[in-house]
């Protein structure tokens, strides 16, 4: 009888524990959204020329759409965002912020890094490593594997091009 009571209590309390963990998550993983604010529950920062800029949907769309135009001379509209989570071989969780174009032919994004602000609070930074997959709409999906990026294949006769960029700043 004691075991039955313990098991019943465990089954009643288990959903509460999992729900409280979900509410405390910093990111909504593997769900596409038109708005970053729907999938990121923390302050995300981009550092440009030594200045910290709070990342919003509009800021990121403008930044990445401009970068794609400069690199590829292609006008693109990014309309879906998603947080990908993976682990390194050592078991360290990695997070990647992915954006997808309206027509599905371009996936781009950046790793997200955990840091501390001057008060010791967690803040998250857009990483200096970005990855893009450009090609067909029926494949060419950006996938992370630990700290590496790869692209899924396209149907026969269509190409997919992967680009990785790492920014190294002088100190």
pLDDT digits (tens, 9 = 90+) for 119-149: 887 889 999 899 999 999 889 999 999 999 9
Q: Where are the domains of the chain?
A: 27-166
pLDDT digits (tens, 9 = 90+) for 74-92: 999 999 999 999 999 999 8
Per residue in 112-138, is it b (16+ CB within 10 Å) or e — as a string? beeeeeeeeeebbbbbebbbbbbbbee
Its pTM stands at 0.80
The number of helix segments (H) and strand segments (E) in the chain equals 2, 9
Q: Where does 25-148 have alpha helices with state H? A: 57-72
All residue ranges of the chain with pLDDT < 70 are 1-24, 169-171
- How many Cβ atoms sit within 10 Å of the Cβ of residue 37? 12
| Largest interatomic CA distance in the chain | 72
């Amino acid at each position: 009888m004691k075991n039955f009571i313990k098991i019943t209590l465990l089954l009643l309390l288990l959903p509460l524990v999992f729900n409280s963990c979900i509410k405390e998550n910093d990111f909504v993983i593997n769900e596409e959204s038109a708005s970053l604010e729907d999938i990121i529950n923390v302050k995300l920062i981009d550092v440009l020329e030594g200045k910290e800029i709070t990342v919003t949907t509009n800021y990121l769309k403008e930044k990445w759409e401009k970068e794609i135009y400069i690199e590829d001379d292609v006008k693109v509209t990014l309309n879906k965002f998603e947080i990908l989570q993976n682990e390194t071989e050592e078991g360290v969780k990695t997070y990647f912020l992915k954006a997808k174009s309206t027509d599905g032919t371009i996936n781009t994004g950046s790793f997200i890094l955990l840091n501390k602000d001057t008060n010791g609070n967690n803040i998250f930074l857009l990483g200096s490593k970005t990855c893009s997959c450009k090609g067909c709409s029926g494949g060419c999906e950006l996938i992370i594997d630990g700290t590496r990026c790869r692209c899924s294949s396209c149907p026969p006769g269509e190409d997919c091009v992967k680009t990785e960029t790492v920014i190294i700043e002088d100190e």
